[in-house]
Amino acid sequence: MANQLLTISMITKESLRVLTGSLKFATQVNNGYNSEFAIKGAKIGQTVNIRKPARYVGRTGPVVSLEAQTETYVPLTLDQQYGVDLSFTSAEQTMSLDMYSDRVIKPAMANIANRVDGYGFNYLKQCYNQVGAPGSPVSSLSTYLAAGVKLDNTLTPRDGLRVMVTDPNTQAVATGLGVNLFNPQPVISEQYKTGQLADALGFRWFMDQNAPSQTNGTYSGTPLVNGTNQTGSSLITNGWGSGVSAMTAGTVFTIGGVFAVNPQTKATLGVLQQFVALTNTTDTTGSMTLSVSPSIVASGAFQNVSRAPTTSDAITVAGATGVTTQLSGAFHRDAFVMGVADLDVPGGTDMAYRASDPQTGLSVRVIRDYNVVTDQWITRFDILFGFNTLYEQLACRVATS
């Protein structure tokens, strides 16, 4: 029987199916705001402000204590447009869909999926919670359990939406560490056959080749806080060694005497609050002003530390100077948010079609047109998207090597 003539709608729907199956990180984050972008003519740069719930101090006793309602917002901007462009001949239209998918669509969608996942996964580096020893491989499953504790301490829900996304090597090591766990035999059998964990240690496990790495800056000396009762997103420091000192974006550190607190009760958790540098900072004078997350709040509804940092508090950087570590991510779905636009389907072309998946929020557009200059049929695949961190406290970095 003759092959069915491929149509642009068949190609686009197959492209969406392949892309959805290829993504890992991007399909595990919150995509509930895609309806905001599902309008004709969505353009790069379009922004939606996502409202976050208010938080309150509360009171004890019968006397009313009125509180102001403070709402915060996170901007989600469509600032990334990725695509693959190729020639699409009339002869290729006579291939079966399976053949065309294997030869053309799968390689194209693999390229897009890796770029989308890689871009989104880098938002993990903006999160401040971290377990593991940077520069040292994980040798025990207790490291992954510690990531679960970090999430518990920030009141991350245990609702089946916690995931652990790792690089290939970490997936293999973790699976090896877990082969002797007392689990149901079918689970152990599946891990043995597939070489990967499924549901274990409180997480659903996924492997993503685009897991990021982090490199500390070069520094020396005895860095200290320089200034009394500092709050906010800037931290003034001194005590760095002579010569050039650098704090790279994504470097995690703690401040002596500044402990993490329960987000609701404000009781001290007994562990130092971790912070992450958000920008690259370099200085030759021994002093640096660091841009940090979380923003330091010592009182009120959004209090996140036992006290404000003050002069001579010691700064301890996680990992040695210049060390590079591979990162995995333990997070709840709501730690990050992804928005994908329903790109406009233009007229005046030979063929154009868009396919959207309401479950994942993904949307792909395919356009074919003729180029009279080169005498070619040109086909382009496009996706327009954006990421942001929604609730950074619902994520924990795992330093795995």
- For residue 377, what pLDDT is reported? 80
CA distances from residue 112 to 118, 179, 185, 379 in whole angstroms, order as listed:
10, 34, 38, 15
How do the domains of the chain map onto residue ranges?
Answer: 1-56+71-214+324-401, 217-322
Which CATH fold topology does 217-322 show?
Answer: Elongation Factor Tu (Ef-tu); domain 3 (2.40.30)
Q: Output the pLDDT for position 141.
A: 92
- Determine the 3-state secondary structure of 253 from DSSP: strand
Query: Which residue, among 311, 304, 126, 306, has the nearest Cα to 235 in the 3D structure?
Result: 311
Predicted local distance difference test score (pLDDT) of residue 174: 86
Q: According to the model, what pLDDT value does residue 15 have?
A: 92
Query: What's the rounded Cα separation, in Å, for the pair 339 and 361?
Result: 8
Does residue 82 come out as left (phi exceeding 0), alpha (psi in the -120 to 50 range) or beta?
Answer: beta
Q: Which of 14, 15, 5 is nearest to 84 (CA)?
A: 15
Angle between helices 8-22 and 106-121 (to 10 degrees): 40
pLDDT at res. 65: 79
Can you give the pLDDT at residue 351?
Answer: 86
- Angstrom distance (rounded) from CA 210 to CA 187: 26
- Cα 305 from Cα 295, distance rounded (Å): 10
CA 53, distance to chain mean position in Å, is: 21
Candidate CATH numbers 3.30.70, 3.30.870, 3.30.350, 3.90.1690; the one for domain 1-56+71-214+324-401 = 3.90.1690
> Both tokens of residue 312?
């001579």
Q: How high is the pLDDT of residue 66? A: 78
Distance CA 313, CA 276 (A): 17
Q: Cα dihedral angle (93, 365, 119, 362), rounded to 10 degrees?
A: -110
Distance in angstroms (rounded) separating the CA atoms of residues 23 and 334: 17
Partners of residue 367 on adjacent β-strands: 352, 380
Which of 24, 14, 8 shows the shortest CA–CA distance to 360? 24
The span from the CA of 126 to the CA of 388, in Å, is: 10
CA atoms of 189 and 112, how far apart (whole Å): 33
236's tokens: 């003034």
pLDDT of residue 35: 76
| Distance (Å, whole) CA 201 – CA 164 | 10
Q: What is the pLDDT along the chain (401 residues), one digit of tens a residue?
A: 344 567 888 889 999 999 998 999 999 999 888 777 766 666 788 888 888 766 666 777 888 877 777 777 888 899 999 999 988 666 666 677 788 888 888 999 999 999 999 999 999 999 999 999 999 999 999 999 999 999 999 999 999 999 999 999 998 888 888 665 545 555 555 554 454 566 888 999 999 999 999 999 999 999 999 999 999 999 999 999 887 788 999 999 999 999 999 999 999 999 999 999 999 999 889 999 999 999 999 999 899 999 999 999 999 999 999 999 999 999 999 999 999 988 888 888 988 999 988 878 889 999 989 888 878 888 899 999 999 999 999 999 999 98
Statement: the pTM of the whole predicted model exceeds 0.85: yes
Q: CA torsion 242→244→247→253, rounded to 10°?
A: -20
b vs e for 186-224, b when ≥16 Cβ sit within 10 Å of the residue's Cβ?
eeeeebeeeebbeebbbbebbbbebbbebebbebeeebb
- Please indicate whether the domains covering 1-56+71-214+324-401 and 217-322 agree at the CATH topology level: no
**Exposure b/e, 321-352, CB count within 10 A at least 16 = b:** eebebbbbbbbbbbbbbbbbbbbeeeeeeebb
